[in-house]
């Protein structure tokens, strides 16, 4: 591709509203542009990178037995009503009405669509197993879209769904897809971990997230420094299979007066953040409907808690609102959890009803009440174990470390949570109708691009891994006015393309400084500069990542690039 014929609008300044590296660089290097909050266009270079990631995903998915399909983004509300998610998915689901006043969702995910499809097309166990996938735009009206492609409102996802007539077959597909995911993220050059994740409202038991290790990640993962053990913090905090001998001894049963401890005391005793105590308690209270009152800037946990517990989440702004709400709700709800800024709620709520109130105030020392009474005495949390950094790993190998992670992939064993309500059954060996057993497997394709950019950059710009770079080689004619230089550059461009390299030729009539700065910013793995020594047949080869420079006779170039 010749740069004079494409669109690569580089920027010298750091865009004001972009506060992480990947977002800044993808904008500055002209890969993406924002159209509205959380909504982006991929410009030619961005599109190329997406295609590279997609190609890797397709190869690995196909290898794992997947078959590609394409489903609609517009989904009839009835399907979502049947599974109950028209109600429970909440404001994240984008909804619209057609001219006949029928309701639709813009697909946030495709379990409803694919399950109804298979219900109509597959009726015998003999046609299973089947794994279908697509790469398609998803829509989620995120409360706080941010970090560019990392949390968009329209974003590209690879979503796969597997269908089985027995559990063993699901286990087999799950294993294969876990392996495929590891291959994909490894080929993308990412430093990642597969972590055990919470099961969420979706109801499945086995469930892993693929986390790219990064300071700007929104999740916290606990992992062993000497083995493959890794879990997200919520999961790690409530794991009950933690062997006694491997544990630091900090467990809740040792609290003196169990049902009158404040959350601060519990947290101090366990040496963990109070908010983790809250999260963990909410997480394991899995049998009862829980009302979670959320205050403050807490949307990520809000969503998690909601999904983990199928809980009702209510935001209440004032004392009056809170007491009114609780008075009205008294008796009809189970335990109440208050997350984050409890101060407003606690004074009133604890008095107005005797349900469980647990919570933590954001302002550290100002932790307020945490009453554990009636439904939940603390002794019910006997099995609860908290993981603290430096603890021995549950598998006995190494010690626990914490890290921040970006969730790039997520795999679930769904079981029959969708096939049952949607009545997607097959006839088994005995001719009995039985609901199909399902798994689902997502990858944030556009988020993966951002995660790669986040891990591959330096102070000059992006430093794409070879597998992902939009082009392999950047050929630069330093001075386009110099006929020889422009001619040699053009010849090299043709030759290298013949050798099947993907080449970007900077043939713009720009100053050398501009060209080099843009080239560093764009970050192709190798730069070939055609400058003054072109008359002697010598060009300069520079490796972007290391800065290594070689002068090479242009005839030797193709050997050198091997
Ligand atoms: P998150 O916890 O970050 O909100 P999620 O758990 O809601 O993500 P899933 O429903 O598991 O997301 O969707 C599968 C994958 O889609 C995620 O692992 C992630 O890589 C990607 N993804 C989810 N939400 C977004 C988003 N708003 N923007 C970009 N990618 C996203
Ligand atoms: Mg989400
Ligand atoms: Mg998540
Ligand atoms: Mg997820």
Q: Whose CA is nearest to atom 13 of ligand 1?
A: 442
β-pair type (473-477, 219-224) = unpaired
Does the C-beta of 410 come closer than 6 Å to ligand 1?
A: yes
Closest CA to 448 of 193, 212, 96, 199: 212
pLDDT in tens, 218-259: 887 878 899 888 877 655 443 322 222 222 333 322 222 223
pLDDT of residue 273: 54
The ligand whose atoms approach the alpha carbon of 407 most closely is 1
Q: Is 235 exposed, middle or buried (0-12, 13-18, 19+ CB in 10 A)?
A: buried
Rounded average pLDDT over 114-122: 98
Does the C-beta of 445 come closer than 6 Å to ligand 1?
A: no
Rounded average pLDDT over 383-392: 53
Distance 116 CA to ligand 1 centre (A): 23
Judged against a pLDDT cut of 50, whether residue 177 lies above it is answered with: yes
Does the C-beta of 119 come closer than 6 Å to ligand 1?
A: no
Rounded average pLDDT over 255-274: 44
- In this prediction the pTM is 0.79
What span, in angstroms and rounded, lies between the C-alpha atoms of 398 and 395? 8
Does the C-beta of 38 come closer than 6 Å to ligand 1?
A: no
pLDDT in tens, 395-423: 789 987 878 899 999 999 999 999 999 99
Distance 273 CA to ligand 2 centre (A): 23
What span, in angstroms and rounded, lies between the C-alpha atoms of 529 and 437? 57
Positive or negative: CA dihedral 284, 285, 288, 291: negative
pLDDT of residue 297: 34
pLDDT of residue 252: 29
CA distances from 449 to 88, 112, 186, 385 (A): 30, 27, 13, 36
Distance 371 CA to ligand 2 centre (A): 30
Q: Enter the DSSP assignment of 189.
A: T
């Amino acid at each position: 591709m010749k740069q004079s014929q494409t669109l690569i609008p580089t920027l010298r300044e750091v865009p004001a509203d972009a506060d992480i590296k990947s977002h800044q660089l993808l904008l500055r290097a002209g890969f993406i542009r924002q159209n509205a909050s959380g909504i982006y266009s991929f410009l030619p270079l961005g599109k190329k990178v997406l295609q590279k990631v997609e190609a890797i995903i397709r190869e690995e998915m196909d290898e794992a037995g997947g078959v590609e399909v394409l489903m609609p983004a517009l989904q009839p509300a009835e399907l979502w009503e049947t599974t109950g998610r028209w109600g429970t998915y909440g404001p994240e689901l984008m909804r619209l009405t057609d001219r006949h006043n029928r309701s639709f969702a813009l697909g946030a995910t495709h379990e409803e669509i694919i399950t109804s499809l298979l219900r109509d097309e597959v009726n015998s166990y003999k046609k299973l197993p089947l794994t279908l996938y697509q790469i398609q735009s998803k829509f989620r009206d995120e409360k706080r879209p941010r970090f560019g492609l990392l949390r968009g409102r329209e974003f590209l996802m690879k979503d796969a769904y597997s269908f089985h007539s027995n559990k063993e077959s699901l286990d087999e597909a799950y294993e294969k897809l876990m392996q495929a995911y590891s291959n994909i993220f490894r080929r993308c050059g990412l430093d990642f971990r597969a972590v055990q994740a919470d099961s969420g409202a979706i109801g499945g038991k086995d469930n892993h997230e693929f986390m790219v290790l990064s300071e700007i990640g929104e999740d916290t993962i606990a992992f062993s420094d000497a083995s493959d053990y890794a879990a997200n913090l919520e999961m790690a905090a409530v794991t009950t299979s933690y062997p006694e001998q491997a544990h630091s001894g900090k467990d809740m049963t040792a609290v003196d007066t169990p049902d009158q401890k404040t959350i601060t005391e519990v947290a101090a005793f366990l040496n963990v953040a109070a908010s983790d105590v809250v999260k963990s308690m909410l997480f394991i209270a899995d049998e009862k409907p829980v009302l979670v009152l959320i205050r403050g800037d807490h949307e990520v946990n809000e969503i998690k808690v909601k999904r983990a517990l199928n809980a009702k989440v209510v935001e209440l702004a004032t004392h009056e609102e809170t007491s009114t709400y609780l008075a009205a709700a008294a008796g009809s709800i189970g335990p109440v959890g208050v997350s984050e800024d409890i101060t407003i709620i606690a004074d009133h709520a604890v008095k107005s009803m005797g349900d469980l109130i647990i919570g933590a105030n954001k302002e550290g020392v100002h932790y307020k009440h945490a009453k554990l009474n009636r439904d939940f005495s603390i002794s019910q949390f006997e099995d609860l174990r908290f993981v603290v950094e430096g603890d021995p790993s549950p598998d006995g190998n190494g010690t626990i470390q914490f890290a921040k992670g970006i969730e790039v992939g997520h795999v679930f064993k769904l079981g029959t949570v969708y096939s049952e309500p949607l009545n997607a059954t097959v006839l088994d060996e005995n001719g009995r109708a039985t609901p199909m057993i399902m798994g689902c497997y997502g990858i944030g394709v556009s988020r993966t691009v951002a995660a790669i950019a986040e891990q591959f950059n330096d102070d000059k710009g992006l430093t794409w891994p070879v597998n992902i770079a939009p082009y392999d080689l950047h050929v630069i004619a330093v001075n386009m006015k110099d006929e020889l230089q422009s001619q040699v550059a053009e010849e090299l461009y043709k030759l290298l393309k013949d050798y099947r390299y993907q080449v970007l030729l900077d043939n713009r009539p720009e100053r050398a400084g501009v060209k080099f700065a843009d080239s560093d910013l764009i970050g192709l793995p190798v730069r070939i500069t055609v400058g003054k020594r072109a008359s002697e047949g010598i060009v300069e080869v520079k490796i972007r990542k290391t800065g290594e420079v070689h002068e090479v006779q242009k005839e030797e170039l193709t050997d050198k690039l091997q």
